[in-house]
Amino acid sequence: MRYWLKQRYSMSKRDYIIRLRHMLDHAHEIVRITSGKTLADLDTDRLLDLALLHLITIIGEAASRIPADERNKYSEIQWAQISGMRNHIVHEYDVVDYDILWETVTEDIPRLISALEKIIPPDNAT
């Protein structure tokens, strides 16, 4: 198994916008891959299952890397719950509640998209 590692660097004041965009891009991907799907599909579609877990994990990791002062500006986003779900998936991978996962992708992700779209500046504004 190969691991590709990027060198760590100090995050500049505006680099958190990149993390917000990562969150938004992956949230949009969740909406795209769940279109027309149901909770029952998670029982039979292993790739859907794995994709959702991976995308939620990335969203949670990106959320945890947003500086606290920036998170405090956007209290409508449930930062702790997003990071907490990531932690649960990573550390308690064998006890994932798929009802909660499905509720997250169908109810919480669209709200997250809406909130992120309000705070992320257009591409040419950064």
Instruction: Report residue 10's pLDDT band, with 50, 70 and 90 as the boundaries.
Output: low
Domain assignment of residue 6, yes or no: no
Read off the pLDDT of residues 24-63 as tens digits, 9 standing for 90 and up: 999 999 999 999 999 999 999 999 999 999 999 999 999 9
Distances (CA, A) of 26 to 90, 103, 117: 17, 17, 13
Domain assignment of residue 61, yes or no: yes
Determine the distance from the C-alpha atom of residue 15 to the mean position of all C-alpha atoms in its chain, rounded to a whole number: 17
Q: Which of 114, 109, 108, 59 is CA-nearest to residue 84?
A: 59
What total of structural domains would you count in the chain?
A: 1
Question: End-to-end distance of the chain based on CA atoms, in angstroms?
Answer: 36
Q: Please tell me the predicted confidence (pLDDT) of residue 13.
A: 53
Q: How many CA atoms lie within 13 A of 122 on its CB side?
A: 2
Domain assignment of residue 26, yes or no: no
- In this predicted structure, the answer to whether residue 14 has a pLDDT above a threshold of 50 is yes
Q: Which domain holds residue 57?
A: 49-121
Domain assignment of residue 10, yes or no: no
Domain assignment of residue 35, yes or no: no
Domain assignment of residue 108, yes or no: yes
User: Which residues form the catalytic set?
Assistant: 86
For residues 6-23, average pLDDT: 74
Domain assignment of residue 17, yes or no: no
Domain assignment of residue 38, yes or no: no
For residues 65-74, average pLDDT: 94
- In this predicted structure, the answer to whether residue 3 has a pLDDT above a threshold of 80 is no
Instruction: Report residue 126's pLDDT band, with 50, 70 and 90 as the boundaries.
Output: very low
**d(Cα 50, Cα 57) in Å, to the nearest integer?**
11
